[in-house]
Amino acid sequence: MKWLNMLKDRLTSLTRAIARFPLTTIFLVVAAIINAYMITMQKETPKLLLTFVLGAFLSTVAQAVYERFYSKTSSRFILMGIVVLLTGGYYLIIHPAPKMSMEIVIRTAVALFALLWAFIWVPVIKSKISFNKSFMIAFKSFFNSLFFSGIIYAGIAIIITAFNQLIFKMDYTAYPHMANVVFVLFAPLYFLSLIPNYPVREEEGITDSMEHAAKCPKFLEILLSYICIPLLAIFTLILVVYIFKNIGGAFWSDNLLEPMLVSYAITVILLYILVSEIENKFTLFFRKIFPKVLVPIVVFQIASSFISLNETGVTHTRYYVILFGVFAAIAGVLMSILPVRKNGRIAALLILFAVISIVPPVDAFTVSRNSQIATLEKELLKYDMLENNKIRPSDKVSEKDQKIITGTVQYLDQMGYLKEIDWFPKNFDVYKDFYDTFGFHEYQEQGDENQSVYLTMEPSMPINIAGYDQFVQVDLYKSDPNSGEKISHFNKEGKTFTLLKETKGKQIDLKLMGENSQELIRFNTQEIYDKFYHYNATKGTITPEEATFTKENKRARLKIVVQNVSIEKQYDQNNAGIYLFVEIK
């Protein structure tokens, strides 16, 4: 009966969590309903979903603020009202956007990250309980909730599979619906049920239950002390040797090292907090040495990143790399001079930096937008390519500057900032109009010029077929070097017309023939491959406008809509699938 008592305790804790975080529960329930609607209807409503997820985070932090600083019920309702207003304000801000841009997603993700750290830090502000204990409680609760949620979902999935195989077929959406209930609704509430009520008054001591919740399990202690720390020490040694070996050259230009150094700094800081209250020779050595090693490493990384900015300007990713580097350097200094009990200041610093990065005018996106526009303008002025607020093509741009111009244009296009530049062409397509606008093709890194190009037309896009007499699907693959193949024939007003695919060497022509073998019109399919040859290999899809080619004379009109195209540059092999529309005049 022990397991029944444990189950009863867990259910009781879950019920208490719902009562403790009522607004959070409401937001999570609505988020799960929206997600269920998206799964069932196969429609995307990410703005609403993200709004209620943000509301859940905000309400959780508001409850932590209430428990730490207030006691009146009216204060709790006021905080709830503020959360509702902030959540509604967030939706009003993102609602006018035509789509969920990368900027909106990143700003929201950073805000959620800051709120998570605030939830851990707020309950122990000016408390006898250290931030380290609060972090350990949250760390254990997260992985416990993830583990149990994973087990529950796996069990339900097995039951659904068995039911589907043995009883009757179920809709395939049963799996995502169950995942939605388990991971969107149950997992967060179970996580909150594992977070204890922290003491409110200074004189209140740490209860036995809280001490148990904050205690590091023996397994985790062994993992952190005797496995993670030695492995990190070896990696640190390799990193230091690399830096000293390449300090005169490769280190300053090795962009691949940036994410490695950022990951290293994150690992050191998190590990430092986790082992702050574990006492053994390994953890004492780690706390004494590693913060001091961290500082010079991140300072070198910041310097390397700043050197790169001189040429390429600031992007939001580079902004966050530098900002995190500054945070890691300050955190390393704080960890070197402050006792472990003061680690809450690191959390406060991290929240501050996160807020700075998303609040204009010094946020990552305002700074990166202005920097990239300024970099592009400087490069164009260098070659006199900007005259009377218009871009003038030039074929005299050096390879180095082609790379910079290509990178800035691609970044501004990806982030949707091109439309904000007065002197930039309207309705510019970076893959279609680049050469005509700048006078050179997009720069490709050495080796990329042989990359294959695979493109498909955007799915579910309408195609205008008004005015055409015939439609046929054609595959453009090479057959015999010199051959003719009949595609189809049709009648109009008592006359017979024939569509042919003619192969001459590497060239394939589409021909429309009238009576008496009279050629009415011809289309050289090489135009398709010439157009898409320089497209970015990672683009993936093309719009109907990009996919459409037309050929017209006094006798007929052809409209070719490319469904997919494959360009194997290395082997000089091209294939495409097209829709061919024919109009007889």
At 53 the three-state DSSP class reads: helix
Contact 441, 434 (CB under 8 A): yes
Tokens 């350990």, located at residue:
136
Q: Residue 389 corresponds to which tokens in the numbers above?
A: 């607020």
Q: Could you tell me the pLDDT band of residue 478, with boundaries at 50, 70 and 90?
A: low
DSSP state of 224: I
Q: What is the pLDDT of residue 481?
A: 55
Average pLDDT over residues 538-549: 79
Q: What is the pLDDT of residue 112?
A: 97
Residue 354 pLDDT > 60? yes
Q: Could you tell me the pLDDT band of residue 448, with boundaries at 50, 70 and 90?
A: low
Average pLDDT over residues 529-545: 76
Residue 485 pLDDT > 90? no
At 282 the three-state DSSP class reads: helix
d(CA 534, CA 526): 14
Listing DSSP states for 472-534 in one string gives: EEEEE---SSEEEEEEEEEEETTEEEEEEEEEETTEEEEEEE-GGG-EEEEEETHHHHHHHTT
User: Of 513, 509, 532, 517, which Cα lies nearest the Cα of 584?
Assistant: 513
Residue 511 pLDDT > 80? yes
> Residue 457: CB partners within 8 Å, gap ≥ 6?
541, 542, 543, 544, 547, 561, 562, 563, 564
The pLDDT tens digits for 208-224 are: 667 778 888 999 999 99
Mean pLDDT of the chain: 87
Q: What is the pLDDT of residue 252?
A: 64
d(CA 39, CA 47): 15
User: Of 499, 497, 490, 495, which Cα lies nearest the Cα of 522?
Assistant: 499
Q: What is the pLDDT of residue 399?
A: 85
Average pLDDT over residues 327-340: 94
Q: Residue 252 corresponds to which tokens in the numbers above?
A: 């300053």
Surface-to-core class of residue 291, CB atoms within 10 Å of its CB (0-12 exposed, 13-18 middle, 19+ buried): buried
Average pLDDT over residues 218-233: 94
Residue 459 pLDDT > 80? no
Q: What is the pLDDT of residue 469?
A: 82
Top pLDDT among 388 and 144 is at 144
Average pLDDT over residues 158-186: 88
For the question of whether the overall pTM of this predicted structure is more than 0.85, the answer is: no
The pLDDT tens digits for 364-377 are: 999 999 999 999 99
> Residue 482: CB partners within 8 Å, gap ≥ 6?
503, 504, 505
DSSP state of 185: I
Distance of CA 257 to the CA centre of its chain: 20
Residue 250 pLDDT > 90? no
d(CA 367, CA 377): 15
Q: What is the pLDDT of residue 172?
A: 81
Residue 543 pLDDT > 90? no
Task: Mean pLDDT check: name the lowest of 65-74, 254-263, 292-301, 485-494.
Answer: 254-263
Q: Which percentage of the chain shows pLDDT scores above 90? A: 45
Q: Could you tell me the pLDDT band of residue 146, with boundaries at 50, 70 and 90?
A: very high
Top pLDDT among 160 and 432 is at 160
What would the 3-class secondary structure string for 81-127 be? HHHHHHHHHHHHHHCCCCCCCHHHHHHHHHHHHHHHHHHHHHHHCCC
Contact 365, 415 (CB under 8 A): yes
User: Of 409, 382, 410, which Cα lies nearest the Cα of 396?
Assistant: 382
Contact 162, 30 (CB under 8 A): no
Average pLDDT over residues 68-77: 92
Residue 557 pLDDT > 80? yes
Top pLDDT among 446 and 352 is at 352
Top pLDDT among 178 and 585 is at 178
At 470 the three-state DSSP class reads: strand
Q: What is the pLDDT of residue 73?
A: 92
Alpha-carbon distances of 328 from 114, 276, 325, 573, rounded to whole Å:
16, 17, 5, 50
Where are the chain's structural domains? 2-200+209-214, 218-359, 365-443, 454-584
